[in-house]
């Protein structure tokens, strides 16, 4: 997928800011791509960027309307159709990360056809991938992995990319989930790839490159999460990472959505990822721990990360609150 920018972020009738988390994530990392928001009556979310009509957005040069809402069931309600069709008639493409496919809505499919516009359903991959081969390829790669789902892998990868670029190095964020694809403008939602081809898809998004180029690959799931470990393993093998960064949310006691599964020990999780990753890169190693400390008081967050760092002998930071400088220092020194 190659989604054209700039964007108009559609947050529809989102009931609260959390329901607009897809749009919020795009705005956090690609503010210069986002020219405005479109809200329907009754919307309780606000991204604090200009409200634009479809006509105003087109005048400002918007290329794609992004459906930035996450709702129960991933559906596109009937009352969104008029806006989507209006955007297509105005010459915009439309992109969605929901389960309902844009082209399954007759009025939307017809509007796209008559205007020659593209519909991007980033959760539904239409590409054909080869199986993974594990052949060593040039370029450098770092993969974010996690003790659990939703532990900050995307934000950590984006922060590492930003820090590498700030230092004048060559780096690209490689998206493997729907919000990441909107932030990157391209990528593969690996959770929608047939199992046999996940590692091949990961090889495709992080291809051979210059020896000094970094691919920063967005991780998914966790090797310890019974629901998603298969995706995590395929991504680990296909990414062939030189280094991993372990992502963790310290206040959880059980895996997200699995109340009977406890959160694994950090060292055990690091060891498992390294052991599995050696299949395609024997030199794989861990360069740091990224912790989401948003639910901890500032002093408690510092104490926690300091303890992890001393115990594991690795830099441990909150990438959003403090940045990832120490992790990147370790990455460059050891890879």
**58-62-66 Cα angle (round to 5):** 115
Q: Which stretch of 16-20, 71-75, 91-95 has the lowest confidence by average pLDDT?
A: 71-75
199: helix, coil or strand?
helix
For the chain, give every domain's residue range: 7-121, 140-334
pLDDT at 21: 86
Q: Which stretch of 58-72, 131-145, 316-330 has the lowest confidence by average pLDDT?
A: 58-72
- Summarised one tens digit per residue, pLDDT across range 2-21 is 789 999 999 999 999 888 98
Q: How far apart are CA 237 and CA 283, in angstroms?
A: 13
Helix ranges, 68-152 (H)? 81-89, 106-115
Q: How far apart are CA 214 and CA 135, in angstroms?
A: 18
Percentage of the chain modeled with pLDDT above 90: 88
pLDDT at 230: 95
Does residue 61 surpass a pLDDT of 80? yes
**Are the folds of 7-121 and 140-334 the same?**
yes
Does residue 70 surpass a pLDDT of 70? yes
| 209-225 mean pLDDT | 97
Q: What confidence tier does 331 reach under pLDDT thresholds 50, 70, 90?
A: very high
Homologous superfamily of 7-121: NAD(P)-binding Rossmann-like Domain (3.40.50.720)
Q: What confidence tier does 184 reach under pLDDT thresholds 50, 70, 90?
A: confident
Q: What confidence tier does 73 reach under pLDDT thresholds 50, 70, 90?
A: confident
Pairing relationship of beta strands 213-217 and 170-174 according to DSSP bridges: parallel
pLDDT at 1: 65
pLDDT at 106: 97
Structural domain 140-334, CATH architecture: 3-Layer(aba) Sandwich (3.40)
Cα–Cα distances in angstroms (integers) from residue 92 to residues 33, 65, 75, 116, in the given order: 15, 7, 21, 10
Q: In what order do the strands lie in the sheet with 119-121?
A: 34-39, 7-12, 64-67, 93-96, 119-121
Of residues 169 and 1, more confidence is placed in 169
Q: What confidence tier does 140 reach under pLDDT thresholds 50, 70, 90?
A: very high
pTM of the model: 0.87
Mean pLDDT of the chain: 95
Do the beta carbons of residue 192 and residue 220 sit within 8 Å? no
Q: Which stretch of 69-83, 132-146, 151-165, 233-247 has the lowest confidence by average pLDDT?
A: 69-83
User: How many CB atoms lie under 10 A from the CB of residue 120?
Assistant: 23
């Amino acid at each position: 997928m190659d989604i054209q920018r700039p964007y108009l972020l559609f947050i529809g009738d989102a009931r609260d800011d959390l329901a607009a988390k897809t749009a919020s994530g795009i705005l956090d990392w690609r503010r210069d791509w986002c020219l405005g928001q479109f809200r329907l009556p009754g919307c309780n979310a606000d991204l604090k960027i200009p409200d634009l009509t479809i006509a105003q957005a087109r005048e400002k040069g918007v290329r794609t309307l992004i459906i930035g809402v996450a709702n129960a069931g991933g559906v596109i309600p009937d009352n969104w159709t008029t806006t989507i069709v209006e955007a297509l008639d105005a010459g915009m493409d439309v992109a969605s990360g929901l389960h309902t496919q844009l082209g399954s809505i007759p009025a939307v499919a017809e509007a796209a056809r008559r205007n020659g516009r593209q519909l991007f359903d980033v959760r539904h991959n239409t590409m054909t991938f080869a199986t993974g081969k594990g052949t060593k390829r040039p370029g450098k790669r770092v993969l974010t992995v996690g003790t659990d789902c939703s532990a900050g892998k995307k934000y950590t990868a984006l922060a590492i990319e930003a820090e590498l670029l700030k230092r004048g190095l060559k780096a690209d964020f490689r998206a493997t989930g729907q919000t990441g694809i909107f932030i990157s403008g391209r990528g593969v939602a690996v959770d929608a790839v047939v199992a046999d081809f996940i590692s091949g898809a990961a090889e495709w998004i992080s291809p051979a490159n210059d020896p000094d180029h970094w691919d920063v690959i967005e991780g998914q799931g966790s090797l310890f999460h019974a629901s998603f470990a298969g995706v995590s393993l395929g991504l680990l093998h296909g990414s062939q990472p030189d280094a991993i960064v372990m992502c963790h949310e310290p206040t959880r006691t059980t895996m997200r959505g699995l109340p009977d599964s406890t959160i694994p020990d950090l060292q055990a999780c690091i060891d498992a990822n390294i052991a599995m990753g050696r299949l395609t890169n024997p030199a794989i190693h861990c360069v740091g721990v990224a912790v989401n400390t948003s639910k901890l008081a500032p002093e408690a967050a510092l104490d926690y990360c300091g303890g992890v760092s001393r115990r594991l002998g690795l830099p441990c930071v909150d990438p959003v609150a403090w940045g990832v400088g120490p992790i990147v220092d370790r990455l460059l020194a050891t890879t």
